[in-house]
Amino acid sequence: MALTEINRAGEFIISEGNGTYSRSAITVVSGQTLAAGTVLGKITASGKYKAYDDDNVDGSEAAVGILYADVDASGGDLPGIMICRTAEVADSLLVWASTNDAGDKTAGKDDLAALGIIIR
């Protein structure tokens, strides 16, 4: 029997600011099950977070951070932690929504770089 290992909390982080400088507490919007390393966007109307997609039109079309640990918000809004500034992260461990194409990912990486999140 083969086992598939998922990303562990914070595994995508290469380096980050001292203490908790790079992190923020967030609310993941209901209806999603997100893995550690998921690139996030912020819904303008509610201030809650969901998986980033450059094609969205609710504010989450801008990448604003990366989810630190798994959050299963399928049954309701739940708290989470996001890397939102001054960090280096491993490209191979980032999780993108299945709806993101290569252009969406490039735009998302540019958004993150503007926040000081460098993808290696």
Burial class (CB in 10 A: 0-12, 13-18, 19+), 120: exposed
Task: Catalogue all structural domains in the chain, each as residue range(s) with its CATH number.
Answer: 13-119 (2.40.300.10)
pLDDT in tens, 25-73: 999 999 999 999 999 999 999 999 999 999 999 999 999 999 999 999 9
Which pTM was predicted?
A: 0.93
Asked whether residue 2 carries a pLDDT value surpassing 90, the answer given is no
* Residue keyed to tokens 């503007």: 114
**CA 56 – CA 99 distance, rounded (Å):** 10
Could you tell me the pLDDT band of residue 9, with boundaries at 50, 70 and 90? confident
Sign of CA dihedral 36, 103, 46, 114: positive
